[in-house]
Amino acid sequence: MYVAVKGGEAAIANAHRLLADRRRGNRSLPAIGIDQIVAQLALAVDRVMAEASLYDRTLAALAVRQSRGDMIEAIFLLRAYRTTLPRFGYSKPVDTARMKIERRVSATYKDLPGGQLLGPTFDYTHRLLDPSLLTDEAVEEPTLREAETGRVMRVSEILAQEGLIEGDGEMPEDHEIGDLTREPMEFPMTRDLRLQALARGDEGFLLALGYSTQRGYGRNHPFTGEIRIGEVDVEFDVPELGFAVSLGTIQVTECQMVNQFKGSSKAPPQFTRGYGLVFGQSERKAMSMSLVDRALRAEELGEDITAPAQDEEFVISHADNVQSTGFVEHLKLPHYVDFQAELDLVRRMRNEFEANRIGGDDTIKEAAE
C-alpha cells in the first residue's frame, strides 16, 4: 500500500537530463555560440559580470547560455566559480578620469571640457519594434572619431573649484579597504563596503529603491553630474618590482550624482555626492546605485532616517539577488516535519475551540489569568 519515496537520485538525474534537452531546444537549429552571446547579447553579459563581480565576458556568456538566459541563475553560476579563485592581491584604484571614454553625458552643464558624447545609447531611440532585425540585414558601419588620450575633467571637479561640493569621500589614514567577500558583514558598515555591496546588488532592487527616493521616500534632490562609460586601466602593485604594472583594461560605467543639501549640524550647505560604478555598460544600475549610495549617507550627513532607501541594514541585507533567490526558492524544499508540527497544533487548537463553543467553557481565559 505504502510506496516509500525512494529514487530521489534517479529523479534528479532525469530532471537534469530533461533540462539539458530543453536548453538545447530544437536540434535542427544551430546552437547559439558563446562569441555570439558576447557580441550580440553584450548587455546581458555585462549585467552578469557586474552582479557576479567577476570581469570575464566569456565565462559570463557561458553562464548565460547554461542558465537558458535566466540572469540571476547566470549570476549565481559565475559567483560560485568566482569564489573558488585564488586571491593574488588587490589592484590599485582605477582612475576613471583617465578613462578611454565612449559615452559621457552631463545633465548639469550644457557644455563642458571633454564634451558630451552620446555613444551607443538607447536614449532617443523610438521604441518601435524593428522588423529588419527579424532577418539578418546588413548593418551600417559606425562613424568613429579618434579617442581622446588625455585626462577628462570630472563635473565634480568643476564644482569643487568653487568649493560648492563636498570633498571626495576619504577614509581615515589607517583604514584598510574592506572586502565583503572575505569578511563577514557587520552593521553599521563603512562606505567602502557599502559600495561593494551595491556594486554587486540586484539591478532591479536598486532601481526600485532609487526610484523610491525620487518619489519622496528619502528624497535627496539629485542631478546627474555625469555618467561616463569606457575603458580603464587596471594596475597592480607587484611588491618584487616596486612599481605598478597594468593588467589590462576593463569597461566600466561610472555615475556621479550631485545632490542638493541644505546643510545640517554636521555639514555646511553644499552639494553632496552619490556614487555608482559598475562593470560593463549599465547606466541604469550605475545611476540607481548612486541614488542609493547618497540615500544611505543620511546618517553621516545628519539627515533624518525615514525611508527604506536610507536604512543601511535593510538595503544591504536584501540587495544580493543570489542570497534572495536562494532563500525564497528554498521554500519549495520539503518542510513536512515542521508542517506536521503545525498541523498537530492547529488540530488541537481547533478541537478546543469547538469544545469551548459548545460548552461555553472559558479555559483559555483562565489560562491567561
Partner 1 sequence: MTDLASYNFAYLDEQTKRMIRRAILKAIAIPGYQVPFASREMPMPYGWGTGGVQVTASIVGPDDVLKVIDQGADDTTNAVSIRAFFQKVASVAVTTHTKDATIIQTRHRIPEEKLAANQVLVYQVPIPEPLRFLEPRETETRKMHALEEYGLMHVKLYEDIAHNGRISKTYAYPVKVAGRYVMDPSPTPKFDNPKMHMSDALQLFGAGREKRIYAVPPYTEVVSLDFDDYPFEIQRFGKPCALCGAEEVYLDEVILDDKGGRMFVCSDTDHCEDRRAHGHAGEMLAPNQEAAE
Q: Which residues bind partner 1 (CB under 8 A)?
A: 1-2, 4-9, 11-12, 76, 79-84, 86, 181-188, 313, 317, 322-323, 325-330, 333-338, 340-345, 349, 352, 363-364, 367-368
Residues 359 and 299: their CA atoms lie apart, in Å, by 58
- Is 168 or 344 the residue whose CB approaches partner 1 more closely? 344
Q: By the 8 A CB rule, do 59 and 76 touch?
A: no
CB of 314 to partner 1, least distance (A): 8
Residue number with CB closer to partner 1 (101 or 316): 316
> Which residue number, 168 or 354, has a Cβ lying nearer to partner 1?
354
Q: Nearer Cβ to partner 1, position 203 or 311?
A: 311
* Residue 246 CB, nearest approach to partner 1 (Å): 24
201, three cell numbers: 546588488
Distance CA 229, CA 252 (A): 6
Cβ closer to partner 1: 134 or 331?
331
Q: In the chain, how many H helices and how many E strands?
A: 13, 4
Q: Which is nearer to partner 1, 71 or 229 (CB)?
A: 71
| Closer by beta carbon to partner 1, 138 or else 367 | 367
CB 31 → partner 1: shortest distance, Å?
A: 18
Q: How far is the CB of 80 from partner 1 (least distance, A)?
A: 5
- Please report how close the Cβ of residue 269 comes to partner 1 at its closest, in angstroms: 31
Shortest approach of partner 1 to residue 77 CB, angstroms? 9
Longest dimension (CA), the chain: 91
DSSP string, 160-189: HHTT-BPPPP---TTPPPP-TTTS---SSP
H/E stretch holding 222 reads strand 222-238
Residue 7 CB, nearest distance to partner 1 (Å)?
Answer: 7
- 228, 96 in Cβ contact below 8 A? yes
Enclosing H/E stretch for 232: strand 222-238
Percentages helix, strand, coil for the chain, rounded to the nearest 5? 45, 15, 45
Whole-number minimum distance, CB 91 to partner 1, in Å?
Answer: 20
Bridge partners of residue 257, in order along the sequence: 224, 274
Q: For the CB of residue 5, give the shortest distance to partner 1 in the complex, in Å.
A: 7
CA distances for 315 relative to 98, 204, 285, 304, 326, angstroms: 32, 13, 15, 16, 17
**Rg of the chain over all Cα atoms, to the nearest angstrom:** 27
Residue whose CB is less far from partner 1, 29 or 367: 367
| Dihedral over Cα of 128, 133, 137, 138: its sign | positive
Preceding omega of 188 cis (within 30 degrees of 0):
yes
Q: Classify 216 in phi/psi space as left (phi over 0), alpha (psi -120 to 50) or beta.
A: left
Burial call 139-177: b when 16+ CB within 10 Å, e when fewer: eeeeeeeeeeeeebebbbebbeeeeebbeeeeeeeeeee
Residues 320 and 287: their CA atoms lie apart, in Å, by: 17
Q: How far is the CB of 291 from partner 1 (least distance, A)?
A: 23
Which residue's CB is nearer to partner 1, number 190 or number 363? 363
CB nearer to partner 1: pick between 157 and 361: 361
